[in-house]
Structure 1
Amino acid sequence: MAYEVYIDDMLLPVPPQKIPIKYPGQNKTVTLINGDEINLLRPPGLAEISLDIILPQMDYPSAVWDGSVDDAEDFISHLQDLKDSRGSFEFIVIRDSFDTNMDVTLEDYKVSDDVKEGLDLVVSITMKEARHYGTKVMNFTIVEDQPTPTAETPQDDRPAEQPQARTYTVQGGDCLWNIAKKQLGDGGRWKEIHNLNLDKISNPNKINIGQVLTMP
Protein backbone atom coordinates (compact mmCIF):
# COMPACT_ATOMS: atom_id res chain seq x y z
CA MET A 1 0.00 0.00 0.00
CA ALA A 2 1.46 3.35 -1.02
CA TYR A 3 -0.26 5.25 1.79
CA GLU A 4 -2.91 4.99 4.50
CA VAL A 5 -5.84 7.36 4.91
CA TYR A 6 -7.76 7.89 8.15
CA ILE A 7 -11.02 9.81 8.55
CA ASP A 8 -11.48 10.38 12.27
CA ASP A 9 -10.34 6.99 13.62
CA MET A 10 -11.47 4.99 10.56
CA LEU A 11 -8.87 3.52 8.20
CA LEU A 12 -10.17 3.56 4.60
CA PRO A 13 -10.07 -0.07 3.40
CA VAL A 14 -9.05 1.08 -0.09
CA PRO A 15 -7.01 4.30 -0.38
CA PRO A 16 -8.46 6.79 -2.89
CA GLN A 17 -6.59 7.09 -6.18
CA LYS A 18 -6.37 10.88 -5.75
CA ILE A 19 -6.34 13.13 -2.70
CA PRO A 20 -6.90 16.67 -4.01
CA ILE A 21 -6.36 19.36 -1.35
CA LYS A 22 -7.27 22.85 -2.51
CA TYR A 23 -6.02 25.99 -0.78
CA PRO A 24 -8.27 28.77 -2.16
CA GLY A 25 -6.72 32.21 -2.42
CA GLN A 26 -8.28 35.24 -0.75
CA ASN A 27 -6.30 37.96 -2.51
CA LYS A 28 -8.38 40.93 -3.60
CA THR A 29 -7.80 43.18 -6.60
CA VAL A 30 -8.73 46.84 -6.08
CA THR A 31 -8.61 49.81 -8.42
CA LEU A 32 -6.87 52.97 -7.25
CA ILE A 33 -8.22 56.45 -7.92
CA ASN A 34 -5.75 56.84 -10.81
CA GLY A 35 -7.06 53.69 -12.49
CA ASP A 36 -4.16 51.40 -11.55
CA GLU A 37 -4.98 47.97 -10.16
CA ILE A 38 -3.21 46.48 -7.15
CA ASN A 39 -3.47 43.08 -5.52
CA LEU A 40 -4.10 43.01 -1.76
CA LEU A 41 -2.34 39.88 -0.52
CA ARG A 42 -4.15 37.85 2.10
CA PRO A 43 -3.47 34.46 3.76
CA PRO A 44 -4.86 31.39 1.96
CA GLY A 45 -8.39 30.31 2.78
CA LEU A 46 -9.39 27.09 4.51
CA ALA A 47 -8.16 23.94 2.78
CA GLU A 48 -10.83 21.97 0.92
CA ILE A 49 -10.59 18.18 0.46
CA SER A 50 -12.73 16.07 -1.87
CA LEU A 51 -12.46 12.27 -1.92
CA ASP A 52 -14.15 9.43 -3.77
CA ILE A 53 -14.04 6.42 -1.45
CA ILE A 54 -14.70 2.83 -2.56
CA LEU A 55 -16.26 0.59 0.09
CA PRO A 56 -15.80 -3.05 -0.98
CA GLN A 57 -18.78 -5.38 -0.63
CA MET A 58 -16.66 -8.44 -1.44
CA ASP A 59 -13.38 -9.79 -0.09
CA TYR A 60 -10.45 -8.24 -1.95
CA PRO A 61 -6.82 -9.04 -1.15
CA SER A 62 -5.97 -5.35 -1.51
CA ALA A 63 -8.68 -4.15 0.91
CA VAL A 64 -7.60 -3.62 4.53
CA TRP A 65 -10.17 -3.81 7.32
CA ASP A 66 -8.31 -3.11 10.56
CA GLY A 67 -11.31 -3.28 12.86
CA SER A 68 -11.84 0.49 13.09
CA VAL A 69 -14.91 0.03 10.88
CA ASP A 70 -16.86 -3.19 10.35
CA ASP A 71 -18.38 -2.73 6.91
CA ALA A 72 -19.80 -0.16 4.49
CA GLU A 73 -22.95 0.34 6.59
CA ASP A 74 -20.86 1.03 9.71
CA PHE A 75 -18.67 3.49 7.78
CA ILE A 76 -21.67 5.45 6.45
CA SER A 77 -23.28 5.48 9.90
CA HIS A 78 -20.09 6.97 11.36
CA LEU A 79 -20.01 9.61 8.62
CA GLN A 80 -23.55 10.65 9.52
CA ASP A 81 -22.56 10.91 13.19
CA LEU A 82 -19.65 13.18 12.22
CA LYS A 83 -21.97 15.41 10.20
CA ASP A 84 -24.62 15.53 12.93
CA SER A 85 -22.06 16.38 15.62
CA ARG A 86 -20.96 19.54 13.74
CA GLY A 87 -17.54 19.04 15.32
CA SER A 88 -14.05 18.68 13.93
CA PHE A 89 -12.04 15.50 13.55
CA GLU A 90 -8.67 14.44 12.19
CA PHE A 91 -7.91 13.75 8.53
CA ILE A 92 -4.61 11.85 8.31
CA VAL A 93 -2.61 10.61 5.31
CA ILE A 94 0.47 8.52 6.12
CA ARG A 95 3.00 8.33 3.29
CA ASP A 96 6.60 7.14 2.98
CA SER A 97 7.90 10.66 2.30
CA PHE A 98 5.69 12.95 4.41
CA ASP A 99 2.39 12.90 6.27
CA THR A 100 -0.71 15.09 6.27
CA ASN A 101 -2.59 15.63 9.51
CA MET A 102 -5.19 18.35 9.90
CA ASP A 103 -8.41 18.98 11.76
CA VAL A 104 -11.40 19.11 9.40
CA THR A 105 -15.18 19.21 9.35
CA LEU A 106 -17.44 17.07 7.19
CA GLU A 107 -19.25 19.39 4.79
CA ASP A 108 -21.12 16.87 2.65
CA TYR A 109 -21.18 13.25 1.55
CA LYS A 110 -23.00 11.27 -1.14
CA VAL A 111 -23.43 7.49 -1.50
CA SER A 112 -23.64 6.05 -5.03
CA ASP A 113 -24.19 2.61 -6.52
CA ASP A 114 -21.92 2.72 -9.56
CA VAL A 115 -22.43 -0.09 -12.06
CA LYS A 116 -18.76 0.20 -13.02
CA GLU A 117 -17.83 -0.66 -9.42
CA GLY A 118 -19.99 -3.81 -9.34
CA LEU A 119 -21.44 -4.42 -5.87
CA ASP A 120 -19.12 -1.92 -4.22
CA LEU A 121 -20.34 1.42 -2.92
CA VAL A 122 -18.79 4.75 -3.83
CA VAL A 123 -18.93 7.50 -1.22
CA SER A 124 -18.01 11.04 -2.28
CA ILE A 125 -17.15 13.27 0.67
CA THR A 126 -16.19 16.92 1.00
CA MET A 127 -14.22 18.16 4.02
CA LYS A 128 -12.95 21.59 5.03
CA GLU A 129 -10.06 22.54 7.26
CA ALA A 130 -11.08 23.50 10.81
CA ARG A 131 -9.17 26.32 12.45
CA HIS A 132 -9.54 26.54 16.20
CA TYR A 133 -9.86 29.92 17.80
CA GLY A 134 -10.82 31.45 21.11
CA THR A 135 -11.48 34.83 22.68
CA LYS A 136 -8.41 36.47 24.14
CA VAL A 137 -8.84 38.22 27.49
CA MET A 138 -6.66 41.27 28.05
CA ASN A 139 -6.02 42.47 31.60
CA PHE A 140 -5.11 46.12 32.20
CA THR A 141 -3.42 47.41 35.34
CA ILE A 142 -3.89 51.06 36.34
CA VAL A 143 -0.53 52.57 37.30
CA GLU A 144 -0.43 55.71 39.40
CA ASP A 145 1.40 58.74 38.05
CA GLN A 146 5.14 58.45 38.60
CA PRO A 147 7.32 61.48 39.46
CA THR A 148 9.20 63.03 36.59
CA PRO A 149 12.90 62.01 36.73
CA THR A 150 15.21 64.83 37.83
CA ALA A 151 18.54 65.66 36.23
CA GLU A 152 20.26 63.65 38.97
CA THR A 153 18.30 60.49 38.09
CA PRO A 154 20.44 58.36 35.77
CA GLN A 155 18.66 57.26 32.64
CA ASP A 156 19.35 54.02 30.80
CA ASP A 157 20.01 55.00 27.20
CA ARG A 158 20.61 51.45 26.03
CA PRO A 159 18.20 50.36 23.30
CA ALA A 160 15.65 47.82 24.36
CA GLU A 161 16.69 44.28 23.53
CA GLN A 162 14.70 42.80 20.71
CA PRO A 163 13.35 39.28 21.30
CA GLN A 164 15.16 36.66 19.26
CA ALA A 165 13.09 34.98 16.57
CA ARG A 166 12.37 31.32 17.33
CA THR A 167 13.34 28.78 14.70
CA TYR A 168 12.96 25.06 14.15
CA THR A 169 15.00 22.77 11.88
CA VAL A 170 12.89 20.19 9.98
CA GLN A 171 13.68 16.60 10.93
CA GLY A 172 12.89 13.33 9.17
CA GLY A 173 9.19 12.43 9.34
CA ASP A 174 8.14 16.00 10.15
CA CYS A 175 5.08 17.73 8.73
CA LEU A 176 3.75 21.16 9.64
CA TRP A 177 1.01 19.66 11.78
CA ASN A 178 3.30 17.60 14.00
CA ILE A 179 5.83 20.46 14.25
CA ALA A 180 3.01 22.70 15.53
CA LYS A 181 1.92 19.94 17.89
CA LYS A 182 5.41 19.43 19.34
CA GLN A 183 6.57 23.05 19.41
CA LEU A 184 3.32 24.95 20.04
CA GLY A 185 1.17 22.30 21.73
CA ASP A 186 -1.56 22.50 19.07
CA GLY A 187 -1.30 20.85 15.67
CA GLY A 188 -4.07 23.12 14.40
CA ARG A 189 -1.61 26.08 14.50
CA TRP A 190 0.40 24.67 11.55
CA LYS A 191 -1.01 27.41 9.28
CA GLU A 192 0.68 30.06 11.49
CA ILE A 193 4.03 28.39 10.77
CA HIS A 194 3.19 28.24 7.06
CA ASN A 195 2.26 31.93 6.92
CA LEU A 196 5.56 32.89 8.58
CA ASN A 197 7.54 30.86 6.04
CA LEU A 198 5.82 31.58 2.73
CA ASP A 199 9.23 32.42 1.26
CA LYS A 200 10.41 28.87 1.97
CA ILE A 201 7.27 26.71 1.68
CA SER A 202 5.32 26.81 -1.57
CA ASN A 203 3.34 23.66 -0.75
CA PRO A 204 2.36 23.27 2.93
CA ASN A 205 2.20 19.50 2.46
CA LYS A 206 5.84 19.31 1.39
CA ILE A 207 8.72 20.42 3.58
CA ASN A 208 12.34 19.35 3.35
CA ILE A 209 14.66 17.95 5.97
CA GLY A 210 17.10 20.60 7.16
CA GLN A 211 14.84 23.60 6.41
CA VAL A 212 15.03 26.22 9.16
CA LEU A 213 11.53 27.48 9.85
CA THR A 214 10.59 30.66 11.69
CA MET A 215 8.22 29.81 14.56
CA PRO A 216 5.39 31.94 16.04
Structure 2
Amino acid sequence: MYYFFLDDKMLPVPPPKMEVKVNNKNKTVNLINEGEINIIKSPGLTEVSFEVMMPNEFYPFALYDNGVSNFITRLSGQQPTITYAKNYIDGFEKLKTGNNPFRLIIARFNQKFEYLSDTNMLVTLEEYNVGESSEYGFDWQVPMRFKQYRPYATKELEITTNENGEQVARVKQTRPTTKEVPKAYKVAANMTLWEACRRASGGSLDWKAVAELNGIRDNNVLKGTVLNLK
Protein backbone atom coordinates (compact mmCIF):
# COMPACT_ATOMS: atom_id res chain seq x y z
CA MET A 1 0.00 0.00 0.00
CA TYR A 2 1.25 3.43 -0.97
CA TYR A 3 0.22 6.82 0.42
CA PHE A 4 1.14 9.99 -1.48
CA PHE A 5 1.24 13.40 0.26
CA LEU A 6 1.72 16.74 -1.47
CA ASP A 7 2.42 19.28 1.25
CA ASP A 8 -0.36 18.57 3.79
CA LYS A 9 -2.80 16.89 1.35
CA MET A 10 -3.02 13.17 0.61
CA LEU A 11 -3.87 12.02 -2.91
CA PRO A 12 -7.17 10.13 -2.93
CA VAL A 13 -5.94 7.32 -5.20
CA PRO A 14 -2.25 6.26 -5.28
CA PRO A 15 -0.77 6.37 -8.81
CA PRO A 16 -0.39 2.89 -10.41
CA LYS A 17 3.25 3.63 -11.27
CA MET A 18 5.91 6.24 -10.62
CA GLU A 19 9.16 7.22 -12.33
CA VAL A 20 12.15 8.58 -10.41
CA LYS A 21 14.92 10.06 -12.53
CA VAL A 22 18.30 10.97 -11.04
CA ASN A 23 19.86 13.41 -13.49
CA ASN A 24 23.51 12.94 -14.38
CA LYS A 25 25.99 15.85 -14.30
CA ASN A 26 29.13 13.93 -15.29
CA LYS A 27 31.07 15.42 -18.19
CA THR A 28 32.86 13.54 -20.97
CA VAL A 29 35.92 15.17 -22.61
CA ASN A 30 38.57 14.06 -25.09
CA LEU A 31 42.25 14.41 -24.13
CA ILE A 32 45.09 14.42 -26.64
CA ASN A 33 46.79 10.98 -26.68
CA GLU A 34 44.52 9.83 -23.85
CA GLY A 35 41.18 9.56 -25.59
CA GLU A 36 37.79 9.96 -23.93
CA ILE A 37 37.55 10.39 -20.15
CA ASN A 38 34.64 10.90 -17.78
CA ILE A 39 34.79 13.71 -15.22
CA ILE A 40 32.64 12.70 -12.25
CA LYS A 41 30.49 15.43 -10.74
CA SER A 42 27.78 15.55 -8.10
CA PRO A 43 24.40 14.17 -9.27
CA GLY A 44 21.84 16.61 -10.59
CA LEU A 45 18.39 17.23 -9.18
CA THR A 46 16.07 14.23 -8.92
CA GLU A 47 12.80 14.31 -10.87
CA VAL A 48 9.64 12.40 -9.91
CA SER A 49 6.70 11.92 -12.25
CA PHE A 50 3.43 10.01 -12.12
CA GLU A 51 -0.17 10.17 -13.32
CA VAL A 52 -2.88 10.30 -10.68
CA MET A 53 -6.63 9.72 -10.84
CA MET A 54 -8.79 12.55 -9.48
CA PRO A 55 -12.24 11.07 -8.66
CA ASN A 56 -15.47 12.99 -9.12
CA GLU A 57 -17.67 10.32 -7.54
CA PHE A 58 -17.59 7.98 -4.58
CA TYR A 59 -15.26 4.96 -4.67
CA PRO A 60 -14.83 2.62 -1.67
CA PHE A 61 -11.08 2.30 -2.41
CA ALA A 62 -10.41 6.06 -2.46
CA LEU A 63 -8.97 7.96 0.51
CA TYR A 64 -10.51 11.40 0.61
CA ASP A 65 -9.52 14.59 2.36
CA ASN A 66 -9.83 13.28 5.93
CA GLY A 67 -7.09 10.71 5.22
CA VAL A 68 -8.98 7.55 6.18
CA SER A 69 -10.69 4.92 4.03
CA ASN A 70 -14.45 5.14 3.64
CA PHE A 71 -14.72 1.59 4.95
CA ILE A 72 -13.25 2.68 8.29
CA THR A 73 -15.41 5.81 8.23
CA ARG A 74 -18.53 3.69 7.85
CA LEU A 75 -17.47 1.39 10.70
CA SER A 76 -17.19 4.42 12.95
CA GLY A 77 -20.79 5.35 12.10
CA GLN A 78 -19.90 8.47 10.12
CA GLN A 79 -21.13 9.43 6.67
CA PRO A 80 -18.41 9.17 3.99
CA THR A 81 -17.62 12.48 2.31
CA ILE A 82 -16.10 13.12 -1.09
CA THR A 83 -13.48 15.69 -1.97
CA TYR A 84 -14.00 16.41 -5.66
CA ALA A 85 -11.27 16.68 -8.27
CA LYS A 86 -11.50 20.46 -8.59
CA ASN A 87 -10.53 20.92 -4.93
CA TYR A 88 -7.31 18.99 -5.53
CA ILE A 89 -6.59 20.85 -8.78
CA ASP A 90 -7.02 24.19 -6.97
CA GLY A 91 -4.46 22.96 -4.44
CA PHE A 92 -2.06 21.92 -7.21
CA GLU A 93 -2.35 25.37 -8.77
CA LYS A 94 -1.44 27.02 -5.45
CA LEU A 95 1.62 24.76 -5.17
CA LYS A 96 2.60 25.62 -8.76
CA THR A 97 2.24 29.38 -8.43
CA GLY A 98 3.21 29.78 -4.77
CA ASN A 99 6.94 30.09 -5.57
CA ASN A 100 7.80 27.95 -2.55
CA PRO A 101 9.04 24.35 -2.28
CA PHE A 102 6.94 21.78 -0.42
CA ARG A 103 7.20 18.18 0.79
CA LEU A 104 6.49 15.19 -1.43
CA ILE A 105 6.07 12.22 0.93
CA ILE A 106 5.47 8.66 -0.25
CA ALA A 107 4.85 6.11 2.52
CA ARG A 108 5.00 2.37 1.79
CA PHE A 109 3.30 -0.35 3.88
CA ASN A 110 2.83 -4.07 3.30
CA GLN A 111 -0.51 -5.90 3.40
CA LYS A 112 -0.24 -6.24 7.20
CA PHE A 113 0.18 -2.46 7.36
CA GLU A 114 3.76 -2.82 8.54
CA TYR A 115 5.97 0.11 7.60
CA LEU A 116 8.42 -0.60 4.75
CA SER A 117 9.98 2.70 3.72
CA ASP A 118 9.19 6.26 2.73
CA THR A 119 10.39 8.98 0.40
CA ASN A 120 10.48 12.45 1.94
CA MET A 121 11.73 15.07 -0.50
CA LEU A 122 11.55 18.85 -0.77
CA VAL A 123 10.28 19.55 -4.30
CA THR A 124 8.70 22.03 -6.68
CA LEU A 125 5.76 21.21 -8.95
CA GLU A 126 7.17 21.67 -12.44
CA GLU A 127 4.06 20.88 -14.44
CA TYR A 128 0.71 19.13 -14.43
CA ASN A 129 -2.02 18.53 -17.00
CA VAL A 130 -5.72 17.80 -16.53
CA GLY A 131 -7.10 15.12 -18.85
CA GLU A 132 -10.83 14.64 -19.35
CA SER A 133 -12.14 11.87 -21.59
CA SER A 134 -15.16 9.59 -22.00
CA GLU A 135 -12.70 6.81 -21.20
CA TYR A 136 -12.35 8.19 -17.65
CA GLY A 137 -16.08 8.86 -17.10
CA PHE A 138 -16.50 11.82 -14.75
CA ASP A 139 -13.00 11.41 -13.30
CA TRP A 140 -9.89 13.34 -14.32
CA GLN A 141 -6.42 11.99 -15.07
CA VAL A 142 -3.59 14.30 -14.03
CA PRO A 143 0.04 13.68 -15.09
CA MET A 144 2.42 15.49 -12.72
CA ARG A 145 6.17 16.17 -12.66
CA PHE A 146 8.20 17.30 -9.64
CA LYS A 147 11.81 18.38 -9.27
CA GLN A 148 13.94 18.11 -6.15
CA TYR A 149 14.63 21.41 -4.41
CA ARG A 150 17.96 22.09 -2.72
CA PRO A 151 17.91 25.03 -0.29
CA TYR A 152 20.47 27.70 -0.96
CA ALA A 153 21.26 31.16 0.35
CA THR A 154 23.85 33.88 0.10
CA LYS A 155 26.52 33.76 2.81
CA GLU A 156 26.96 36.70 5.13
CA LEU A 157 30.49 37.59 6.24
CA GLU A 158 31.28 39.04 9.65
CA ILE A 159 34.44 41.17 9.83
CA THR A 160 36.31 41.25 13.15
CA THR A 161 39.71 42.50 14.27
CA ASN A 162 42.00 40.04 16.05
CA GLU A 163 44.56 40.78 18.78
CA ASN A 164 47.22 41.63 16.17
CA GLY A 165 45.04 44.34 14.65
CA GLU A 166 44.32 42.25 11.58
CA GLN A 167 40.85 42.09 10.09
CA VAL A 168 39.44 38.58 9.88
CA ALA A 169 36.35 37.50 7.94
CA ARG A 170 34.19 34.55 8.90
CA VAL A 171 30.90 33.23 7.59
CA LYS A 172 27.97 33.76 9.94
CA GLN A 173 26.37 30.48 10.93
CA THR A 174 22.58 30.35 10.88
CA ARG A 175 20.72 27.82 12.94
CA PRO A 176 18.33 25.62 10.95
CA THR A 177 14.67 26.06 11.78
CA THR A 178 12.70 22.94 12.70
CA LYS A 179 9.08 22.47 13.66
CA GLU A 180 8.73 22.23 17.43
CA VAL A 181 7.02 19.01 18.49
CA PRO A 182 4.21 19.63 21.03
CA LYS A 183 3.74 17.44 24.12
CA ALA A 184 0.29 16.39 22.90
CA TYR A 185 -1.68 16.54 19.67
CA LYS A 186 -5.48 16.45 19.24
CA VAL A 187 -6.53 14.64 16.07
CA ALA A 188 -8.81 16.90 14.02
CA ALA A 189 -10.23 14.18 11.72
CA ASN A 190 -10.13 10.41 11.28
CA MET A 191 -6.68 9.54 9.98
CA THR A 192 -3.84 7.07 10.27
CA LEU A 193 -1.46 7.36 13.21
CA TRP A 194 1.39 7.79 10.73
CA GLU A 195 -0.36 10.81 9.21
CA ALA A 196 -1.18 12.30 12.63
CA CYS A 197 2.49 12.09 13.64
CA ARG A 198 3.55 13.68 10.36
CA ARG A 199 1.15 16.58 10.81
CA ALA A 200 2.16 17.14 14.42
CA SER A 201 5.92 17.11 13.82
CA GLY A 202 6.53 17.66 10.12
CA GLY A 203 7.95 14.15 9.82
CA SER A 204 10.40 14.00 12.74
CA LEU A 205 8.35 11.67 14.98
CA ASP A 206 8.56 7.87 14.94
CA TRP A 207 4.90 6.82 14.70
CA LYS A 208 5.71 3.35 16.12
CA ALA A 209 7.13 4.96 19.28
CA VAL A 210 4.00 7.14 19.57
CA ALA A 211 1.81 4.03 19.18
CA GLU A 212 3.68 2.30 22.01
CA LEU A 213 3.53 5.42 24.21
CA ASN A 214 -0.26 5.66 23.77
CA GLY A 215 -1.02 1.93 23.84
CA ILE A 216 -2.37 1.96 20.26
CA ARG A 217 -2.36 -1.45 18.55
CA ASP A 218 -3.48 -0.44 15.05
CA ASN A 219 -2.65 2.45 12.74
CA ASN A 220 -6.00 4.25 12.80
CA VAL A 221 -7.04 7.02 15.18
CA LEU A 222 -10.41 8.73 15.40
CA LYS A 223 -11.28 12.42 15.46
CA GLY A 224 -10.87 13.94 18.91
CA THR A 225 -8.20 11.49 20.10
CA VAL A 226 -5.47 13.21 22.11
CA LEU A 227 -2.04 11.69 21.44
CA ASN A 228 0.81 12.02 23.93
CA LEU A 229 3.95 12.74 21.90
CA LYS A 230 6.59 13.00 24.65
**Root-mean-square deviation (CA), in Å?**
2.3
Q: Which residue of 2 aligns with 1:28?
A: 27
Q: Which runs of 4+ in 1 moved over 6 A?
A: none
Match of 1:79 in 2: 92
Structure 2 contact 49–146 (Cα < 8 Å) conserved: yes
From 114, 125, 132, the equivalent of 2:133 is 114
CA distance in 2, matches of 1:140, 1:86: 33
Q: Which residue of 1 aligns with 2:104?
A: 91
Partner residue, 1:124: 143
Indicate if the aligned counterparts of 2:27 and 2:40 stay in contact, CA closer than 8 A. yes
* TM-score (normalizing by structure 2): 0.59
For residues 121 and 83 of structure 2, the distance between their equivalents in structure 1, rounded to whole angstroms, comes to 25
Between the aligned residues of both structures, percent identity stands at: 38
In structure 1, the gaps of 5 or more residues are 146-180, 183-216
Q: Which has the larger radius of gyration?
A: 1
Compute the TM-score of the two structures, normalised by the length of structure 1.
0.63
Aligned to 2:157: 138
Alignment of 1:45-194 (within 5 A): 45-67=44-66, 70-96=83-109, 97-143=116-162, 144=164
Tell me the matched-pair count: 148
Q: Distance in 2 between matches of 1:56 and 1:70?
A: 8
Once residues 105 and 18 of structure 2 are traced to their aligned partners in structure 1, the CA distance between those partners, rounded to angstroms, is 11
CA distance in 2, matches of 1:124, 1:25: 23
The residue number in structure 2 matching 1:17 is 16
SS in 2 for 1:98: strand
Please tell me the residue identity of whatever aligns with 2:93.
Q
Q: 2 CA distance for matches of 1:141 and 1:77?
A: 51
